[in-house]
Chain A
Amino acid sequence: LALQRLVDENQDALDAAIYKDLHRPKDFEVVSCLKTCKGLIDNLDALTRDQKVVDANSTDDSYVRMSPLGNVLIIGTWNFPIMLIIEPLAGAIAAGNTCVVKPSEVSQESASILTRLLPKYMDPSVVSVVNGSVEETTVLLKERFDHIFYTGGTEIGKIIMSAAAKNLTPVTLELGGMCPVIISENTDIAKAAQKVAFWKTLNCGQVCLSVNYILCPKSLQEPLIQNVIGTWKHLFGGADGKGDFKESSDYPRVINKRQFDRLEKLLQKVKDQNTIVYGGSTDPSNLYMEPTIVTNVSLTDEIMKDEIFGPLLPIVTCENIDDAINIVNRQEHALSVNLFSDQKEEIEKVLRETRSGAVNVNDIAAHFTNHDLPFGGVGHSGLGSYHGKYSVDTFSHKRAVMIRNLS
Chain B
Amino acid sequence: MTIRTLRDHGQHYRPRMACLKKVEAFVVEMQDPKSGVKASDQKLNITSIPHVITGQDILAWIVTKMKVTTEEAQAFGTMLVAYGYIYPLQNHRKLVLVADSTLYRFQTPYFWPVQKWPAEDIDYAIYLAKRNIRKKGMLEPYEQEHYNNLHKWMNYKWDFIVMQATEQYKASKERKKPDRVVLDCQERAYWIVHRPPRRTHSGMDYGLDRLIDPNAEEVLTYDMVRRTNIFLTQALMRSAVKSSVSLTAFVKYVTTHHTHDPLLTNPVPSNPWITDNDEFWQLNMRNVDIPTKLSVERWALSFWELISDQRGRADFKLFLKKEHSGENMAFYEAAEEMRWGAATAIPEKSQFIFNTFLKPGAPRWINIDGRTMGLTVKGLDCPHRYVLDAAQTHIFLLMKKDTFYRYLKSPVYKDMQKKALVPAPHNFTDAQLEANAKNRNPGISPIVLWQQQEAEKAAAAVAARPIDVKAMVATNKLDRK
Tell me, yes or no, whether A binds B: no
Contacts from A to B (Cβ < 8 Å): none
